[in-house]
Amino acid sequence: MKKTTLLLEYAGMALGSALMAFALHFFLEPNTIAPGGVTGLAVVIQRITAVPMDVTNLLINIPLFIIGILILGKAFGAKTAYATLMLSVFLRLFIIVFGTEGTLTSDILLAAVYGGVSMGVGLGLIFRLGGTTGGTDLAGAILNKFFPALSIAKLMMILDLIIVAIAGLVERRIEAALYSVIALYITVKLTDFIVEDLSYSKAVYIISQKPVQISNRIMQELERGVTALEAKGMYTGAHRNVLLCVVNRAEVAKLKKLVYEEDHTAFIMVTTAHEVLGEGFKEIKK
């Protein structure tokens, strides 16, 4: 089972790398859209020097990877090296099969949107399976060792914005930088969406005069557990229980209906739980 799982993970990272290469070759590079990261820098360098993106990706990431191991230890492992290599392999494959001019659209807005979507899904798959593609996340982690006052996320954002600005300077028009920001935003949002799990759940907090009746109905009708949290109203000084229950998205409407049938004055707060582990939800990996 472990070997099968490992093979599936590496196959998933290969698919993610292929999606990233597809976005770069067919949408982003032909329109000089640089969505941050080393891949964005590779787009700019190819535009200036005609050095292919797959070569630039390896030339920048190999020394970054070595420095990362020396400074941060071997935490990055084989998956990062594999994903970085596969990205360059797929870029080279697309160049061989479709040539250097592989644009699917000359509409720069469409290129930014669909390029960002493909990049985001690809990166999300790789991150979700425990890999990275090197780039600014690795560079940010390295710089954080020397500039601890700045978080890795802030350093990554600074590096990405610098690359986006360079794209605008290379094209000598602000539109290139602005469309690059659109692609970067879509990429980041979709990456987060894939990593945080498409099947996110909802945590519901309930304050009611009838906590026992509501708890019983939730446990019987929804077959979900309920936890009572001791609380005190600071305005009234009254002590009461706050009910906490985690349900999937499809059960939220039914839960609210159930609560208001018992107590139409109840106070309900619904929040998103991006990952829930345990009985009734995702199993905890051993």
Q: What is the CATH number of the domain that holds 263?
A: 3.30.70.120
- Same domain (yes/no): 53, 144: yes
In a domain, 281, yes or no: no
Q: What's the pLDDT score for residue 196?
A: 67
Question: Does residue 210 belong to any structural domain of this protein?
Answer: yes
Average pLDDT of the chain to the nearest whole number = 83
Among 155, 170, 195, residue at a domain's last position: 195
pLDDT digit string, tens, across residues 83-100: 888 988 999 999 888 877
Asked whether residue 183 falls in the same domain as residue 223, the answer is no
235 domain residue, yes or no: yes
Comparing CA positions, the residue from 12, 13, 189, 10 lying closest to residue 87 is: 13
In this prediction, residues 48-62 reach a mean pLDDT of 83
> For a pLDDT cut of 90, what percent of the chain falls above it?
29
Cα(269)–Cα(284) distance, rounded to whole angstroms?
27
The DSSP secondary structure of 26-63, one letter per residue, reads: IIIGGGT---SHHHHHHHHHHHHH---HHHHHHHHHHH
Q: Does residue 254 lie in a domain region?
A: yes
Q: Supply the pLDDT for residue 14.
A: 94
Last residue of a domain, one of 195, 219, 248: 195
Residue 101 or 209, more confident? 209
Answer yes or no: is 189 within a domain: yes
Same domain, 127 and 14: yes
Domain encompassing residue 56 = 2-195
**253 lies in a domain?**
yes
Residues 168-221 pLDDT 10s? 787 677 887 888 889 888 988 888 788 766 667 889 999 999 999 999 999 999
Residues 69 and 34 in one domain: yes
Question: Which pLDDT value is given to residue 151?
Answer: 61
User: Is there a single domain that holds both residue 185 and residue 217?
Assistant: no
Question: Do 7 and 113 share a domain, yes or no?
Answer: yes
Which one has a higher pLDDT value, 134 or 96?
96
What pLDDT is attached to residue 168? 77
Do residues 240 and 109 both lie within one domain?
no
Q: Are residues 179 and 216 in the same domain?
A: no
* Domain co-membership, 59 together with 183: yes
pLDDT in tens, 108-127: 899 999 999 999 899 888 88
pLDDT for res 279: 66
pLDDT band, very low/low/confident/very high, at 242 (cuts 50, 70, 90): very high
Clarify whether residues 169 and 216 are in a common domain: no
Percent of the chain whose predicted confidence (pLDDT) is above 70? 89
pLDDT at 286 over 60: no
Cβ–Cβ < 8 Å for 255, 218: yes
Which of 195, 216, 244 is a domain's end point? 195
pLDDT band at 259 (very low <50, low <70, confident <90, very high): very high
Report yes or no on 278 lying in a domain.
Answer: no
Do 131 and 13 have their domain in common? yes
pLDDT beyond 80 at 267: yes
Instruction: State the sign of the Cα–Cα–Cα–Cα dihedral 154, 156, 157, 158.
Output: positive
Are 178 and 229 members of one domain?
no
Q: Is the pTM of this model over 0.85?
A: no
Q: Is residue 284 part of a domain?
A: no
Choose the most confident range, by mean pLDDT, from 29-43, 138-152, 271-285: 29-43
Angle between helices 135-146 and 152-171 (to 10 degrees): 120
Q: What is the pLDDT of residue 225?
A: 92
User: Lowest mean pLDDT: which of 76-80, 89-93, 244-248?
Assistant: 76-80
- Which residue would you say has higher pLDDT here, 106 or 205? 205
Total domains in the chain come to: 2
pLDDT at 48: 82
